[in-house]
Amino acid sequence: MGSEKNLVIGLFGFGVVGEGLYKVLNQTPSLKATIKRVCIKNVNKKRNAPPELFTSDMNDILNDPEINVVVEVINDSKVGYEIVSTALKNGKDVVSASKKMLSENLPELIELQNKTGQSLLYEASCCASIPIIRNLEEYYDNDLLHAIKAIVNGSTNFILTKMFDEGLGFKEALLLAQQLGFAESDPKLDIEGFDAANKWVLLLTHSYGISTTIDKLLFNGITNIHKEDANFALSRNQSIKLVAQAKKLKNGKVATFLLPQFIDQDDQLYFVKNEYNGVVIESGFADKQFFYGKGAGSFPTASAVLSDIAALRYGYKYEYKKKNQHIPASLSNDFNLRVYVSFKDLADIAKEDFTTIEEWHSGNERSYLIGTIPYNSLINQIWWKSNETSMVLMPDSIFEDMELQELKKMSLSLAGLDL
């Protein structure tokens, strides 16, 4: 770590996060960090900052030798990549909050960081105010990290909370999330799980050294959660959350996915409500640890950007130890998931794919079944998120072959069911 340096910042984006950072920096003079220029699309739009601060020419920042830190908080992942890669090549450290841009380009960006010797930090891209990347990077060894599960999207969690605690319909809850500034400008990114999946790609790198992309992840959002599913959860004193998970299997590989899940009342994630995020880490000797904090909003996200800026004063960078110093863990597809599936028409369900079916209920409006299904059957098909079908993981969701034998003894005979 070098001696402390003065930071001169070029900021890209002055939306919720950018303006939040501008305000927060003005309240933290001890940081010795000042914003010299802000690049935005529309210079004529009235903003709460001096007009001479703004430019629409990115080269005013990227080619300014005085600016030694670029902060990138824009929505466009292609332009974001161009900004970040050019800034690193031009000898500037970079702080980014753009999870989509990072998850699409992480291997190239890590290589660029290694080549240029600059730092690329992005704590604000995952879980806003929770310092989860820094903790995974510095504190948890790959071999001792048994499992990690997390609520990483504040908007979907807010919507589910309103549906459960206040009985709002999905559309009403989404509208409220947008009015309060928790939902992305394009709500599909949140409610269909894309935003959370992009964050999860980044967290898998820092948890297990695994490089992947969202098109290889098994994930879904919350658009198919029905009132009947919520009622089913409430009848069992459970809630439904959108949960990302990774777990070391007995074969040493990692099972991972991001799906709605029933959460029991004794689970730490049960109490993560509204726009808050929560992460539960299970490690070899420390048992479970729980991180909790605001996962959306202007100041919580700006606070994470600020902490990265502060770390740059001392030359901090991610070392990606789990990628570089270990044999990185690899992903497994050799496991079963225990799921609840609710549906209108049984013809839409790939019932022949299930290994076990342990519960079955036929209703007028919707029916449901509970059973186990191989991960491979889900990753290659979309029936489970089509035709208003809803699939929610059971609380104990991952089953390896040995454990399946026990489940089979308890399950209903497929042949004996009128399916």
Q: Which of 262, 295, 328 is the last residue of a domain?
A: 295
Condensed to tens digits (0 to 9), the pLDDT of residues 161-199 reads 999 999 888 889 999 988 887 776 678 999 999 999 999
User: Is residue 388 assigned to a domain?
Assistant: yes
Which pair of structure tokens corresponds to residue 90?
A: 């031009």
Question: Could you tell me if 290 and 237 lie in one domain?
Answer: yes
User: Is residue 205 assigned to a domain?
Assistant: yes
User: Is residue 67 assigned to a domain?
Assistant: no
Q: Which of 398, 170, 182 is nearest to 277 (CA)?
A: 182
Q: Which range is least confidently modeled, 76-80, 221-225, 253-257, 400-404?
A: 400-404
pLDDT at position 406 is 62
Q: Residue 403 is part of a domain; what is its CATH number? A: 3.30.70
Question: Could you tell me if 148 and 291 lie in one domain?
Answer: yes
Question: CB neighbours of 328 closer than 8 A, spacing ≥ 6?
Answer: 142, 208, 209, 210, 211, 322
Q: Residue 197 is part of a domain; what is its CATH number? A: 3.30.360.10
Of the pLDDT bands very low, low, confident and very high (cuts 50, 70, 90), residue 208 is very high
Query: Given 149, 162, 199, 322, which residue is catalytic?
Result: 199
pLDDT over threshold 90, residue 30: no
The residue-averaged pLDDT of 58-63 equals 98
pLDDT over threshold 70, residue 405: no
Q: What string of DSSP letters covers 278-318?
A: EEEEEETTTEEEEEEEE-SSHHHHHHHHHHHHHHHTTT---
Condensed to tens digits (0 to 9), the pLDDT of residues 367-382 reads 999 999 999 999 989 9
Instruction: Confirm whether 216 is a catalytic residue.
Output: no
Question: Could you tell me if 274 and 159 lie in one domain?
Answer: yes
pLDDT at position 381 is 94
Of the pLDDT bands very low, low, confident and very high (cuts 50, 70, 90), residue 1 is very low
Question: Could you tell me if 230 and 362 lie in one domain?
Answer: no
pLDDT over threshold 70, residue 404: no
User: Is residue 193 assigned to a domain?
Assistant: yes
pLDDT over threshold 60, residue 418: no
pLDDT over threshold 60, residue 413: no
Question: Could you tell me if 193 and 257 lie in one domain?
Answer: yes
pLDDT over threshold 50, residue 351: yes
Tally of domains in the chain: 2
pLDDT at position 415 is 41
E strand residue ranges, 45-144: 54-55, 69-72, 93-96, 120-121
User: Is residue 126 assigned to a domain?
Assistant: no
Domain housing 282: 144-295
User: Is residue 151 assigned to a domain?
Assistant: yes
User: Is residue 376 assigned to a domain?
Assistant: yes
User: Is residue 223 assigned to a domain?
Assistant: yes
Of the pLDDT bands very low, low, confident and very high (cuts 50, 70, 90), residue 120 is very high
- Beta-bridged to residue 263, according to DSSP, are 239
Question: Could you tell me if 261 and 365 lie in one domain?
Answer: no
Task: Record the pTM.
Answer: 0.93
Question: Could you tell me if 255 and 174 lie in one domain?
Answer: yes
